[in-house]
Amino acid sequence: MTVVVSRALAVLCLGAALSGCVAADVPRDPDRELARCVEAWEEAKEEQAQPKDRGEVPDPTHLQGRFERLALEFPEHEGTLYANAVVASDTGQPVKAQQYLDRLFQRQPVHPEGAVLRARLAVHDGNLPFARRLLERQVTLVPDHPGLREALAGVLFLDGDLRAARAELVIAARLGAPAWRVAYHLGLVAEGLGELDEAARHYQAAVEKNPSHEPARARLIGLSARRS
């Protein structure tokens, strides 16, 4: 159960993208500057994924310096700190990502997206207890955030607490989490509990809601073979 990096970054530029132009002598606006960095990053990522020709494919990692310089210029700007954490994580620098998240949480202890990313990094390090404590605390503070509920469900699943994971997924669905993703993860939980018919039902729902989701289709085929 993951966090989508490109979508997380895209959210950051929404507010700034809607703002108007300012005169050249007006102090630099961190939201506006961050929006420009995010736009450049997203364009580079898109070109890397789908190059328009067979020439040299641009590497978005060279843009990381722009985010870091922005953090030096606006060290207290929460959006910039979070964006740097996302970029550092996306470029395989978990320690740096954690450092930016630590700075973010010092300024804003309640930050669902930051908590999800920090928990993911903790899971990667094998520190499930930390990830669980962090997400449970954030859920207490922001109970209506579907992403937090999904992330907590993932950690509970990995921790072997399957029924608690199921309960969190049900809540996430009610809060608006993507139905296909919830169905797939409910299938994993049901399969882990030995409820194969229930798991197949969830996998089938995931495929119907998102036909391009191959993991759900593969699990469904695997279950069919086991039950035949």
Which DSSP string do the residues of 165-208 spell out, in sequence order? Answer: HHHHHHHHHHTT--HHHHHHHHHHHHHHTT-HHHHHHHHHHHHH
Is 58's pLDDT higher than 80? no
Angle subtended at Cα 120 by Cα 163 and Cα 153, rounded to the nearest 5 degrees: 15
State the CB neighbour count (10 A cutoff) for residue 124: 11
pLDDT digits (tens, 9 = 90+) for 163-211: 999 999 999 999 999 999 999 999 999 999 999 999 999 999 999 999 9
Alpha carbon distances (Å) from 167 to 1, 57, 182, 211: 15, 44, 11, 25
The pLDDT score that the predictor gives to residue 44 is: 85
Instruction: Select the highest-mean-pLDDT range: 2-11, 157-166, 219-228.
Output: 157-166
Mean pLDDT calculated for residue range 71-82: 96
Place of tokens 């630590």: 102
Confidence (pLDDT) at 61: 74
Give the residue-averaged pLDDT of 10-36: 61
Buried/exposed 203-215: b ≥16 CB within 10 Å, e otherwise: bbbbbebbeebee
pLDDT of residue 200: 96
Average pLDDT of every residue of the chain: 87
Q: State the pLDDT at residue 194.
A: 95
Query: Count of CB atoms within 10 A of residue 37's CB?
Result: 24
Question: Would you place residue 162 in the very low, low, confident or very high pLDDT band (cuts 50, 70, 90)?
Answer: very high
Determine the Cα–Cα distance for residues 152 and 84; give it in Å rounded to an integer.
23
Nearest to 207 by CA among 165, 168, 179: 179
Q: pLDDT tens, 97-114? A: 999 999 999 999 999 999
Provide the pLDDT for residue 48: 76
Of residues 56 and 184, more confidence is placed in: 184
pLDDT of residue 189: 98
Longest dimension (CA), the chain: 72
121-133 pLDDT tens trace: 999 999 999 999 9
pLDDT above 70 coverage of the chain, percent: 84
Average pLDDT over residues 144-160: 98
Burial of 3 (0-12, 13-18, 19+ CB in 10 A): middle
C-alpha of 66 from chain center: 22
